């Protein structure tokens, strides 16, 4: 029993560290924050399918990654909330598969980030008026970036982990 707890803690910590580091790497290229974002770290959201440790790991990693966000405490709270909700629902939906792939789990980060981060950007971005149209645009921009990263990085990561049996 003790080994399971240690494994859970180590997996969560590693996921958090990798998520934060990948977010900072995205920030170096200017694509981690803002209306259009391609956080390399978001590919890791697929890990919720493999281990429950990914839920706190992704959340803590997002908190750490958002410490340098230009949106400050708003992004730390609401961006991390989006990641937490996405990780929980992705974990819950992991057994629902289409042709063996957990498509719904892959889509949860896209949906939650589009809605929550899209709303966050709409209400605190200084150059745009908060309106339904501004929210829809922000949500679509965030969602498109999230979808791209989850597809380009998340799908190969899923199949690589599945093939190697890393989380058995």
Check: pTM over 0.75? Answer yes or no.
yes
118: its two tokens: 């899209």
**The pLDDT value given to residue 126:** 61
* pLDDT per residue as tens digits for the range 95-140: 999 999 999 999 999 999 999 999 998 888 766 666 888 899 999 9
Q: How far apart are CA 83 and CA 72, in angstroms?
A: 16
3 state SS for the chain: CHHHHHHHHHHHHHHHHHHHHHHHHHHHCCCCCCCCCCCHHHHHHHHHHCCCCHHHHHHHHHHHHHHHCCCCHHHHHHHHHHHHHHHHHHHHCCCCCECCECHHHHHHHHHHHHHHHHHHHHHHCCCCCCCHHHHHHHHHHHHHHHHHHHHHHHHHHHHHHHHHCCCC
* Residue range 26-74, pLDDT digits in tens: 999 999 998 888 999 999 999 999 999 999 999 999 999 999 999 899 9
Average pLDDT for 9-35:
95
Buried b (16+ CB within 10 A) or exposed e, 120-155: bbbeebeebeeeeebbebbbebbbebbbebbeebbe
């Amino acid at each position: 029993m003790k080994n399971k707890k240690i494994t859970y803690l180590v997996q969560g910590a590693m996921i958090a560290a990798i998520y934060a580091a990948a977010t900072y790497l995205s920030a170096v290229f200017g694509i981690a924050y803002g209306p259009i974002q391609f956080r390399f770290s978001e590919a890791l959201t697929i890990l919720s399918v493999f281990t429950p440790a990914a839920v706190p790991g992704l959340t803590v990693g997002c908190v750490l990654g958002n410490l340098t966000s230009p949106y400050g405490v708003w992004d730390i709270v609401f961006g991390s909330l989006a990641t937490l909700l996405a990780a929980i629902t992705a974990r819950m939906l992991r057994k629902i598969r289409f042709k063996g792939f957990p498509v719904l789990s892959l889509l949860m980060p896209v949906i939650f980030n589009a809605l929550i981060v899209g709303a966050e950007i709409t209400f605190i971005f200084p150059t745009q008026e908060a309106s339904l149209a501004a929210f829809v645009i922000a949500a679509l921009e965030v969602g498109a970036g999230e979808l791209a990263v989850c597809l380009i990085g998340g799908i190969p990561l899923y199949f690589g982990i599945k093939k190697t049996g890393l989380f058995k």
